[in-house]
Structure 1
Amino acid sequence: MSKLRFVQGASGVRTAGQLQNTVRSIRGTYETDAEVVRALLPQPLVAVEKPEIFFQFAHVAMHYSAERTVEIGALTLGVNCTFEGQKGAYCFHMSMEGESVVTSGRERFGEPKKIAATTFEKNGDHIRATVTRHGITFFEIEGNIGADNSNPKQFEEHLFCYKGLPSITTPGEFDGDVFLTRLDWKRNYTTRRDFDGKITLRESAYDPLVDVPVRRIIGLEYVEGATQTGGTLMRTVPGEWIAPHWVGRNDEPTNTGLDLSAPAEKAA
C-alpha cells in the first residue's frame, strides 16, 4: 500500500490543547536604558515605570506524547510592559535548539524564534549556560544556586508577540492581517531558589543583545518543575506598528540599527 506523508494522516493529529513541559530554568529581570525600551517596544504595548528586561534560559523537556519527548535549550528575552492593563513582556528574542520547535512557534504563535546551539552545565549548585549562533556565543550566564525563596510556585505569566506574513512584493509590509498574540505560560514549579550569577552579552551582528545592555540585575532565580504552554489571539494591529521590529526575527548583519542619539521625532 502506498502512502503520502506530505498530507496529514488519521493518526498523530495534535489537538489544540496545551503542551506539557518539564523545565529547569534560570530566570531573572535586569534594568536597561530607558531610551532602549522606548525604541524597542511596539504599539499598542505600554512600558512599565522602570526599563526592565525579563529573561529566562530554560532546559526544556517537551512531552508531545507518552512515547515522544524532545529536549532543548531555550533563551527568551522580553521588555516588561502591559496591554490593556494586563502585565506581561514583549518578546523580542528567542533562541533555541531544534528546527521543529522553532518553525512551529513562529508560525503558530508569532514567536521570534531562531535556531541556536545551547549548553546547560549543572555541577552541584553551580550552573553555566550559553547560547551560540553563527559561531558566536552571544549570551552566557554563570553562577550558583542559593536558598529557597518565598515566591509562589504556581502562577501564570504572559509574553506578547506579533504574528504576520511579510509581503511577497513590498518589503516592510504584510500580506493580510497582523495579529498581537499572547503567550500563556502556566508554571507549576516544585523548586524555586535564589541564584547569584553574572550575565555576559557579546557582540553579534546576527543577535545584537548587547544593544539592550545589562545596567543592573534586579533579581535572579533557579527553578525546576512543569510548564503548560498555550496562547491567545488578542487583536489585529496595523502592520507599520511592528514592521521596524521585524528585522530582529531574521539574520541581518548589515542592519545598522536605529540611532538612539537622534531627536525623538527623527528616530520615530
Structure 2
Amino acid sequence: MVKLRYVEGPSAHARSAGLNNTVRTVRALYETDPEIARAMLPRPLAASARPEIFLQFAHVAMHVTPETTVEIGALTLGVMCDYEGTPGGYVFHMAMEGESVVTSGRERFGEPKKIAETSFEKNGDHVRATCTRHGITYFEVEGTLGADQGKPEPFEEYFYCYKGLPSISTPGEFDGDVYLTRLNWKRNYNLKRSFDGAIRFHESAYDPLVDVPIRRMLSLDYVEGATNTSGQLLRTVPGEWIAPFWVQRNDAPGNPGIEIALADAKAA
C-alpha cells in the first residue's frame, strides 16, 4: 500500500458550510465623495443614499474544525449599497494572511482576496494594525480604546461579491456564468468600546485605497466576540457588468484608472 494525498481520503476532517470565528476588530464607517462611491458599484447593485464605505481590520481565529484553528489578520472594505431591498456592502478590497484562506474565499465565494502581511498589536488600551503588500504598508489604524458601550445585540450584515472564471481566450470576458454572491456574516460581539484613533491610507499602485478617500468619519469602534460566516448565490449577471471592476482583485500597477469629476471643488 502507498499513500496518495492528491485525492481526499475518508479520514479527512469534515468541513461545514460556514465558519465559526472569534475576532478582535476595528470597525469604521466613513463618507467618501458621492461620485466615487457611485462609480465603484457594478450592476445590479444600487448606491446607498449616502456615499458610505465600510472598513474593518480584524484579527481572526478561524475554527476550521474542532481540532484546527487558523489565526489571520484581515482587512475588508466595501461600498455600501442595496440589492433588491437588502442593504449591504460591495466588497472591493480584501487582504489577509495565508494562501489557503485567500484561494478558498476567491474560488468559493468570489471574494476579491489578496495575500498580505498584517500586524495587530494590542497593548493595554492601545491598538495598532497595519496591512502590507509588495513591501508597501498602505493601510494603518492606530488609537486608544475609550468607553465601554455595553454588549451589542447579535446582528447579521451582508456583503456582495462576484464569482466568475475569466476567459481562457478573450481578455475581458468570462467562461461560463458569472454570479452575484452574498456573504452572510452573523455577529455576536461580547465587547464594544469607542475607539479614539485614525485611519491612514498610503499610496500603492497595487492597492490604491487612497483613491477612495475619507471625507468624514461616521463611526469608529473596537469590538470583540464571535462571528459565523457563510454565503449564497443570488443570480447570474452578464460578464460585461463586472468586467471593468475585475482589476480590483488583481495586482495591476499599470492600470491608469478612470477620471472622476467631483462636484465639490474643494475635493477636486
Q: Distance in 2 between matches of 1:156 and 1:12?
A: 31
Does 2:254 align with 1:251?
Answer: no
Aligned pair count? 262
Task: Give the AA of the match of 2:79.
Answer: V
Corresponding residue of 1:166: 166
Give the deviation of 1:94 after TM superposition.
0.1
> Which residue in the other structure is 2:184 paired with?
184
The answer to whether the Cα contact below 8 Å between 1:77 and 1:91 also exists between their aligned partners in 2 is: yes
- Match for residue 215 of structure 2? 215
8 Å contact kept, 1:153–1:192: no
How do 1:226-265 and structure 2 match up within 5 A? 226-261=226-261
Structure-1 residue corresponding to 2:73: 73
Instruction: Report the CA distance between 1:13 and its aligned residue.
Output: 4.7
Distance (Å, rounded) in 2 between the aligned partners of 1:27 and 1:94: 14
CA RMSD after TM alignment: 1.2
Q: Does the aligned pair in 2 maintain the 1:205–1:254 contact within 8 Å? A: yes
User: 1:73, 1:97 within 8 Å by CA — same for their partners in 2?
Assistant: yes
The 2-side partners of 1:148 and 1:238 are apart by 47
Q: Which runs of 5+ in 2 are unaligned?
A: 263-268
| 1:183-241 Cα shifts (integer Å, max 9, x gaps) | 00011111011111101000000000000001111001100001101001100001011
Deviation at 1:11, TM superposition (A): 1.9
Question: Identical aligned pairs, as a percentage?
Answer: 68
Matches within 5 A, 1:113-152: 113-149=113-149, 152=152
1:8 to partner: Cα distance: 1.2
Match of 1:199 in 2: 199
Counterpart position of 1:52: 52
1:261 and 1:66 mapped to 2: Cα distance?
A: 52
Give the 3-state SS of the residue equivalent to 1:64 in structure 2.
Answer: strand
Q: 2:167 is paired with a residue of what secondary structure?
A: coil
1:95 shift after superposition: 0.4
The residue that corresponds to 2:14 in the other structure is: 14
Paired amino acid for 1:248: Q
Q: Normalising by structure 1, what TM-score?
A: 0.95
Amino acid corresponding to residue 7 of structure 2 in structure 1: V
Question: Counterparts of 1:109 and 1:42 in 2: how far apart (Å)?
Answer: 17
78 and 151 in structure 1: CA distance in 2 versus 1, 3 angstrom threshold: farther
Residue 89 (structure 1) aligns with: 89
Structure 1 residue aligned with 2:266: none
The amino acid that maps onto 2:74 is: A
Q: CA deviation at 1:3?
A: 1.7
Q: CA deviation at 1:152?
A: 3.0
Q: TM-score, normalised by structure 2?
A: 0.95
Name the SS of the counterpart of 2:253 in structure 1.
Answer: coil
How far, CA to CA, are the matches of 2:168 and 2:42 in structure 1? 23
Q: List alignment gaps of at least 5 residues for structure 1.
A: 263-268
Give the conservation status (yes or no) of the 8 Å contact 1:18–1:229.
Answer: yes
